[in-house]
Amino acid sequence: LVRKIAAEHGVEIGAMRGSGIQGRVTKRDIEQYLASGAAATAGQRPSMHAPAGAATHGPAPEPWAGDRVEPMSKIRALTSDHMVASRHTNAHVTSFFEIDLTRIARIRHKNRAAFEAQTGQKLTYLPFIIKTVVDTLKQFPVLNAAVAGNSIIYRKQYNIGIAVALDWGLIVPVIKGADDLSLSGLTKNLNDLADRARTKRLKPEEVQQATFTITNPGVFGSLMGTPIIPLGTSAILGLGAIEKRPKVITGPDGEDTIAIRTCAYFSLSFDHRIVDGADADRFLAAVKAGLESFPETAL
């Protein structure tokens, strides 16, 4: 039964840490693995084993007097395996852009009370970003793709994974068919998935089949980072802290003035095996342009 479930979901049992007798993988291990979001769909998930010639682990560190030693939680062990496999598989490169979110801030401030009254949802920056990213992915399909041997799979669906940091680990629920959702629809889906992630009520299929991922370390104050690409995808976007900064603005008359603007750094990690640096930068430039000219009518 365990092998059947693993085969259906494209999970390599040999790459997992089992909790059964003599380290055997149990049905519960498989279910927790799927619910953690670490597994990709069958047929798209690369081998978890490091390629030939990859660096191997040295001797395990020994605890010193007074140290506290505790085993990794199941989700921490799964996350560890997934991150190492991604670094061994994907050719990681990260590009950074500063985005002016002043227009989004003004639209949000002007409409948030009416939006909340109408939908029952709080209007945050993230749905604006998701919508702009999805629209831009249509122009750059290689960033909504996956490597399969010597072939590239261009995904028809736009399924956006949203990394959610929890006290017990990291989980990535997926907004399926994000290109079919309005701003209010994205907000509703985003809040629902995040709430159920925090209460451990997500279904395994709700953390699978992401085609592009967004992570938001900016909520903790981080300005920028180099996120690791989830296996089975070609890119991940990291959002830095949204802050007010002094910026030089050139007016229509060519004169420069200093103004206070709401800005954030966006970090795009991409798989250089199939994504050229120029395309990654063009993608970020298009996201920047889309956010800085976001139509208020999209509400």
- Is residue 190 within 8 Å of 175, Cβ to Cβ? yes
What amino acid is encoded at 112 in this protein? R
Enumerate residues 6+ apart whose C-beta is below 8 A from 104: 125, 128, 262, 291, 294
Number of H helices, E strands in the chain: 7, 11
In the chain, where does DSSP find H-type helix? 2-8, 27-35, 74-89, 102-119, 125-137, 183-198, 277-292
Residue 283, number of CB atoms within 10 A of its CB: 24
User: Choosing from 109, 180, 195, 276, which is the catalytic residue?
Assistant: 276
Helix, strand or coil for residue 175? strand
276 in catalytic set: yes
The catalytic residue among 100, 272, 279, 281 is: 272
**Contact partners, residue 197, CB within 8 Å, separation at least 6:** 164, 166, 171, 173
Please say if 272 is a catalytic residue: yes
How far is it between the farthest Cα atoms of the chain?
A: 75
Cβ contact 263:100 at 8 Å: yes
- Residues forming the active site: 272, 276
